[in-house]
Structure 1
Amino acid sequence: MAYRILLSGGGTGGHLVPALNLAAALRRAAPEVQVMLVGARRGIESQILPDLDWPYRLLPLEPLYRSRPWRNWRLLASAPSVLGGLSRAFSDLDPQLVVGTGGYASGPAVAWGVARGVATAIQEQNAMPGLVTRALAPRVDQVHLGYPEARARIRAGRSTEVFELGNPVALGPVTRPFDWPEGRTVLVFGGSQGARKLNELLLAGLPQVPAWPADATVVWVAGPANFDEVAARVGDTDSSTEIRVVPFIPELGGQLGRVSLAVCRSGAMTCAELTAAGVPAILVPLPTAAGDHQRFNARAMVSAGAAMMREEDSVSGRDLWTDMVSLLGDAGGLAHMADASRQRGRPDAADRIAAELIDLAGRSEGASDG
């Protein structure tokens, strides 16, 4: 059967990446599947989707400005164009299933599917579900949770199937392997939204690093925009810490098995990749994340024994370096955290979610045929 599935999500990488990973998993599960991706013109997907081989539509979708409500006139102004674009997308694909991966770019398509009686599903990445998930969970056919802690924070419909299968990470063969150092590796990376502040904290604390283990190297992913500054300041600092600064690492998720400890933000997909590889972490949640979802993610990781959490507003760079040295010096404790991370991981989540989505699409087609 040639399944027809519309995937909506984007705005940020945290919502676009799950959609892309699910699209790939759907194709693995059913090579004949027809997938259309729907996202926002203003989102990161406008830079990424044109270079991929998936059919897509970019609509003038706008976020909901909860802290600046006077800007929500844009939602009303764009509504006719959004509705027209959705109507054309649904007419062209005639989907059996609409899947949303959260964020403002996903809500209208899922709501449109519900209104038209099309089977619908949501994949929620975070421990604290977003507004779209909380609003639509009572009305969709399936909800797929990345964190089991999220179940208590949604109100699903009586007939809604709720799954706790993890977040869909891509862990396929690595085509561009990074030249990892010998010995133990501490990976520092901030993510697209949080790199600058985390970089600043660690740079400020670098001159005060306690005795660094001789067998450990820091691989510091500074981000392309911050690379020159971070590399220069690290080079100018008198420190015994072995550090390699790089702008980015392609296909990082598939190479995390080489990492002994990570220092990073607590975005849902970052945590999913860490746990899929069994990497313990020091997590510094992004305090401006919507709904404070990164703090909820970090707390879940800490409760599982897979991480420790530091608050950006109260931690110093010296604190973070001291934490790294302390964990590296406690082989038993670090191994316990790695085991807890691995137990939390769901490396097969994308394929398991795809199987449930294919089943739902098939049931939907059968119901419509009947």
Structure 2
Amino acid sequence: MTRPATTRVFFAGGGTGGHLYPGLAIARALVNQAPHIQPHFIGAWRGIEREVLPTTEFPFTLLDLHPLYRHAPWKNWRTVVGAVGAWRELTRLAAPNTPRAVIGTGGYAAGVALAWGRAHGVLTMLHEPDSHPGLTTRTFAKGARSLFLGFPEAANRLAVGAHTQVLPLGCPIEPPPPTPLSRAEARRVWGLPDDAFVVLVVGGSQGARALNEVVAAWTQQALPSGVAVIWATGKQQAAAYLDRESGMVRVRPYLAPIAEAYAAADLAVTRAGAMTIAELCAWGIPSLLVPLPTAAQDHQTHNAQATQAAGAARYVPQRDFTVSTLDAAVRALRDDPAARNAMHAAALQRARPGAAADIARSVIVTLDLGAVGIG
């Protein structure tokens, strides 16, 4: 079989980092394993990809794409007009070298490209990070060649075609280093006692105001004996909390890289985004998951419930997340190493630190099969 000099693959997805960063991780793994593959990213002008894609090594095209305005349907004319223009642009973009596949990673930025690929006989593949699949995944799952799942539970909520491979290979993340810092070494980096019980609080790059307010009030009172806190407030909220640092509390706007914080942590208090949970599982960190209640289709609650059912976390609805519940949960887990060990083991059981490489291998095999006519 003669392979072309380059094999083009469109990646379509964005709007949020949870839809864009998995695509970037898969694309990098693809190029690492098969340098002849040439990823090209399709995104929306109004999504996070506008800021992120120009900083990457990949060619990209940003289109005038819009979501479905469910609560303001009179605005959907923008969605239709944008989709028509995007379709024409995709046709023009593909003319010199038709892509072998379109890989959708979710969000409204993926839908038009997947529909275009389906209409032009191009293989379509999907990555769904959440336990409750989004609209794009539900719409295109049935005709997809491969469906890569971050949560195996998502398969129960999808109707797929007879020839669709459903592969629960996980969410592509930056895996822990082969030899991470020991817990004691990491605590020394943070200037914390070797024997401290370290609680890591992370609300995402923008922070989570509901988490920050509770943690701020909790750290103002006497922390439980031996408890230390590493607290990432989010860049936009940092000014209000940076003065809360003390002997056992470390406050940072953002943790990048985050490996030293993960290595130091006994317990994490976080939102329940798919990528965050994937990282916590890869590091084997027990967690209190406080889902964002306004997340689309309440997908973070589904993620938290699935992770709790697996034994790796405890789910706390935001309405129940208070100073007293946080304090009680920290004390209980500090004093119950058997429970922490069980959560640690359950997290590692769910972990898929090699997800990006595994997904890339599957894509390469599928593209080779497609090249010999198994379309």
The TM-score with structure 1 as length reference comes to: 0.91
1:150 aligns with 2:160: no
Residue 151 of structure 1 aligns to a residue in which SS? helix
Indicate which of 182, 202, 215 corresponds to 1:189: 202
Write the mapping of 1:156-167 to structure 2, written as runs, cut at 5 A.
Answer: 156-167=160-171
CA distance in 2, matches of 1:81, 1:193: 32
Give the superposition deviation at 1:337: 0.7
Correspondence for 1:329 = 335
Residue 105 of structure 1 aligns to a residue in which SS? helix
Deviations 1:330-350 (A, max 9, x none): 111111111111111011111
1:217 aligns with 2:228: yes
Of stretches 80-89 and 243-252 in structure 1, the one that deviates more from structure 2 is 80-89
Structure 2, unmatched stretches of 5+, are none
Deviations 1:298-341 (A, max 9, x none): 00110011000111123213311321222122111111111111
Write the mapping of 1:1-370 to structure 2, written as runs, cut at 5 A.
Answer: 1=3, 2-171=6-175, 179-182=189-192, 183=194, 184-192=197-205, 195-208=208-221, 211-214=223-226, 216-232=227-243, 234=244, 242-252=248-258, 256-367=262-373
Residue 106 of structure 1 aligns to a residue in which SS? helix
CA distance change for structure 1 residues 348 and 284 in 2, over 3 Å: closer, same or farther? same
Residue 320 of structure 2 aligns to a residue in which SS? coil
Give the superposition deviation at 1:18: 0.4
CA distance change for structure 1 residues 149 and 193 in 2, over 3 Å: closer, same or farther? farther
Deviations 1:60-87 (A, max 9, x none): 1111122332322210232232112222
The aligned amino acid for 2:231 is W
Quick check: 1:266–1:297 contact (8 Å CA) kept in 2?
A: yes
The aligned amino acid for 2:241 is V
CA distance in 1, matches of 2:177, 2:340: 27
CA distance in 1, matches of 2:85, 2:126: 24
Give the superposition deviation at 1:241: 7.6
Structure 1, unmatched stretches of 5+, are none
CA distance change for structure 1 residues 193 and 115 in 2, over 3 Å: closer, same or farther? farther
The TM-score with structure 2 as length reference comes to: 0.90
Of stretches 253-262 and 187-196 in structure 1, the one that deviates more from structure 2 is 253-262
CA distance in 2, matches of 1:213, 1:196: 26
CA distance in 1, matches of 2:201, 2:261: 14
CA distance in 1, matches of 2:257, 2:274: 17
CA distance change for structure 1 residues 318 and 365 in 2, over 3 Å: closer, same or farther? same
Deviations 1:34-66 (A, max 9, x none): 111111111111111111111111111111122
CA distance in 1, matches of 2:279, 2:65: 29
Give the superposition deviation at 1:173: 5.5
CA distance change for structure 1 residues 3 and 77 in 2, over 3 Å: closer, same or farther? closer
CA distance change for structure 1 residues 63 and 293 in 2, over 3 Å: closer, same or farther? same
The aligned amino acid for 1:62 is H
Deviations 1:107-131 (A, max 9, x none): 1111111111111100000000000
CA distance change for structure 1 residues 170 and 157 in 2, over 3 Å: closer, same or farther? same
Give the superposition deviation at 1:169: 1.1
CA distance in 1, matches of 2:200, 2:212: 12
Residue 47 of structure 2 aligns to a residue in which SS? coil
Give the superposition deviation at 1:246: 0.2
CA distance in 1, matches of 2:70, 2:143: 23
CA distance in 1, matches of 2:154, 2:16: 20
Measured on the aligned residues, the alpha-carbon RMSD in Å equals: 2.2
CA distance in 1, matches of 2:172, 2:229: 28
Point out which structure has higher relative CO (alpha carbons under 8 A, 6+ apart). 1
Residue 282 of structure 1 aligns to a residue in which SS? strand
Deviations 1:118-166 (A, max 9, x none): 1110000000000011111111111111111111100001111111111
The aligned amino acid for 1:333 is A
CA distance in 2, matches of 1:271, 1:338: 13
CA distance change for structure 1 residues 118 and 22 in 2, over 3 Å: closer, same or farther? same
Residue 225 of structure 1 aligns to a residue in which SS? helix
Residue 206 of structure 1 aligns to a residue in which SS? helix
CA distance change for structure 1 residues 360 and 83 in 2, over 3 Å: closer, same or farther? same
